[in-house]
Every structure is written in C-alpha cells, then in structure tokens.
Amino acid sequence: MKYNSPWIKVLNKRNILKIVHENRPVSRSEISEITGLTPSSVTRITKELIEEGFVQEIGSEGKNSPGRRRILLDIKNNAFLSLVFDVGVNVTTYGLGYFDGTVSLGGSFETPRAPEKFFMKVREIFEKYSLDNKISRVSLSVPGMVNMEENRILMAPNLGWRDVSINEFLQLGVPILADNEANLSVLAEKYHSEDMKEVKEAIFIVVREGVGTGVLIDGKLYRGPTYTAGEAGHMTVDMRSNRLCHCSNKGCWEFYASINWAIEHYEGKLEGKNAIEKFAALKKREDSRKVLEKLAQNIAIGIVNIVNILNPEIVILGGEVQDLGEYFYRIVQEEVKQRALKDATKQLKIRPSIFGTISSNLVGAAVLAVENIIENVR
C-alpha cells in the first residue's frame, strides 16, 4: 500500500478526529506533533472535518502570550446525535447521546418481557425523537451477552431473552448498536474519568438483579472471541451449592453479590414492585446496615478472584450499590486487601462509579455510538 493511498488518508482522518476528541480543545500544531503528520496535511484534513460538521474552530487566549488569540479545534457537540437505551431487567431508561459522549435523559418505561414488544417501543421513541432531531445511531445497553458482529443478543438471562437478532426485530435506516451493560460502563469510565486516562487495566462491576463485569485490558475493552468475557457473575464461589443458576451452573457469585441477595436476607418487609425498588427501600432503612455490610463482603469475594487473575489498577463498582457510601467501600477494600495477593493490591484502587442519575450504562451507550461514528468516517 502506498504511503499516501486513499486508505491511509481515511485512517489519518479518523485518527485526527479521535485526537480532537481526546484532547479538546487542541491546536493544529499540537495535532501535527501528536500524529507526526505535516502541518499542511493536518490543515487539509481538519478542513474536511470542519466542512463535514464533526469539528469546529474556537478561539482561546494563548497561555504564554496573553491577549493573543490562538485558534483551537473542538468537536461539534450537536452534530451527531444518538438515541441511547439502558435496557434494565425491570425498567428501560432512554435519552439523547451527544458527540462528546454525554447524555441528556429522556424518560423510561417498563421493559416488556417479549423482545418484539420491546423493539416496538424503541421504534416508537425513535420516531418521536426523529421529528425534531437527526438521529444517526441507536445504541442499546443490554443486561446480557451480545455478539456485536452479528448484532445478536446471545443471552440476557434475567430478561429471559435468548438468541435475539436485533436486526430481525428492528430496522430504522440508521445503524443499531448494542453491547453488554458492564462493557459499556467501563467504556464510559475510560472516556470520562480523570483517573482512568492513563489506566490500561480496569474492571467495572455492575451490581443489579445480576452481577456483570466489564474488562479493560491494555486500554481496550476485552469482549472475548465469542463475546462472553467478563461474565464474572457466573463464576463459582460456592462449590457445594445445589442452587441452580439460569446459566446452568450452581453456586454462582451473583447469587451472593446481587441486590436480590440483600433483599432475600433482609428481615423486614420491603415495599416495591421489583427488585430495584425494593433495594432502594432497603437502602433507606436504618436497620439495613448489617445486611449491606454482608453484601459488601460477598462482593469483595468475587473481586478477590478477579484481582488475582487480572491484576487491574482500578475496580469500579456501579449499578445499585454505587451510592452506598464510604462504610460500604471500606469493607470491600479491607476484605479484598486481606484476601487477595499482596502484590495485586499494592496499588489497587476500588471506588464507586462517577456516574449517578444518568447511569454508566447509558453514557457508555452514547460513547459506543461516538466510537462507531468515528470508525466510519471516510
């Protein structure tokens, strides 16, 4: 392949757009420095990116020469919108995703049990949003395994979905993307968190009705050859257990580390239509401390196994436990420190997700759409 073949030009263009994304606002000379491309190539490619609506010029005061304006490049936030869905076992939340990987919340609905009904609802919302917006991607966070190559939900056990071909149910004239919720959560953290910028190995644990993990290795999401990587919720933590999991194993970690465990082991009665509502009620009870402390220990046991295998720099907890406060995280940290390999915990950080009202899953779905847009720039 020749050095300045059209394909190399496309790759350079995608690379520059990625650099603007990651370093914004950034000057043309900085881009030239980072990429090693000549200033004239950078000027030519950024001109295209501006004309195509990806990038915009903004002015800024120069750091060393006050008063002198420097032209900087930033992404155009509203240029590309995605419609993002956080498919929950009970409730699905949706919103609008922007080109900077942020989300504005739209609304929510009860997740229909039948996939065809669910996708009808997605179509309805897509059509509603399309009246006022140009939606360029639909992106779904799924509580299960997704074969991204075939756009197929392999299994979403807590929803009872198996082998659901998204493209068969839904065609909207724009690409429809989907990935596992924990994968998207680690993607969202990598994209938005200050302490993740230099991190190459990280784990995100989503604690909801089930437990899922997203695995970042060498700075990239690790999905595995058949898209089942990170299903740590189904690692065996009780070899003698007879309790059968829907994954067909027995004694899975998620029996002990999910919100369902806490609800089952709390001695009082809890109001709520579903596990999420019941757990929210549990968290408000003054006498729930004991069961939550035990939950923290159960979560820590799984983290010990993961940390001993993968030696991550950061373990992030999200889902329904992320707002449980310092005491909860202290128990997790202490238990992990006590049990895991000493060298594996030396620099290990365990913290809650930075995302709150707008879930890491939903933000991750927006980031997935952004990555897909950049990967398809021509």
Closer residue to Zn ion, CB minimum distance, 249 or 372: 249
Q: Which is nearer to Zn ion, 103 or 145 (CB)?
A: 145
Q: What angle do CA 345, 348, 353 make, to 5 degrees?
A: 140
Backbone torsions φ then ψ of 343, nearest 5 degrees = -70, -25
Q: How far is the CB of 277 from Zn ion (least distance, A)?
A: 24
Q: Residue 340 to residues 42, 73, 297, 321, 334: CA-CA distances in angstroms?
A: 48, 46, 13, 22, 10
H or E stretch covering 367:
helix 360-375
Nearer to Zn ion, 233 or 352 (CB): 233
Which residue in the set 148, 247, 301, 377 belongs to the binding site for Zn ion (CB under 5 A)? 247
Residue tagged 């408000």 (tokens): 284
From CA 81, how far away is CA 75, in angstroms rounded? Answer: 13
Cβ proximity to Zn ion: between 156 and 358 the closer is 156
Which one of residues 153, 184, 235, 245 is an interface residue with Zn ion (CB under 5 A)?
245
Q: Does 252 bind Zn ion (CB under 5 A)?
A: yes
List the one residue from 249, 297, 311, 372 that touches Zn ion (CB under 5 A).
249
Size of the site for Zn ion (CB under 5 A): 5
- In the complex with Zn ion, the residue whose CB is nearer, 234 or 278, is 234
Would you say 28 and 43 are in contact if contact means Cβ atoms under 8 Å apart? yes
- 155 vs 291, beta carbon nearer Zn ion: 155
CB of 145 to Zn ion, least distance (A): 12
Which residue's CB atom is positioned nearest to Zn ion? 245
Contacts 24+ apart (CB under 8 A), 323-327: 323/283, 323/352, 323/356, 324/283, 324/292, 324/296, 324/352, 327/289, 327/293
Nearest distance in Å: CB 144, Zn ion: 12
Question: Residues 225-244 vs Zn ion: string with x where CB under 5 A?
Answer: ---------x----------
Binding site for Zn ion (CB under 5 A): 234, 245, 247, 249, 252
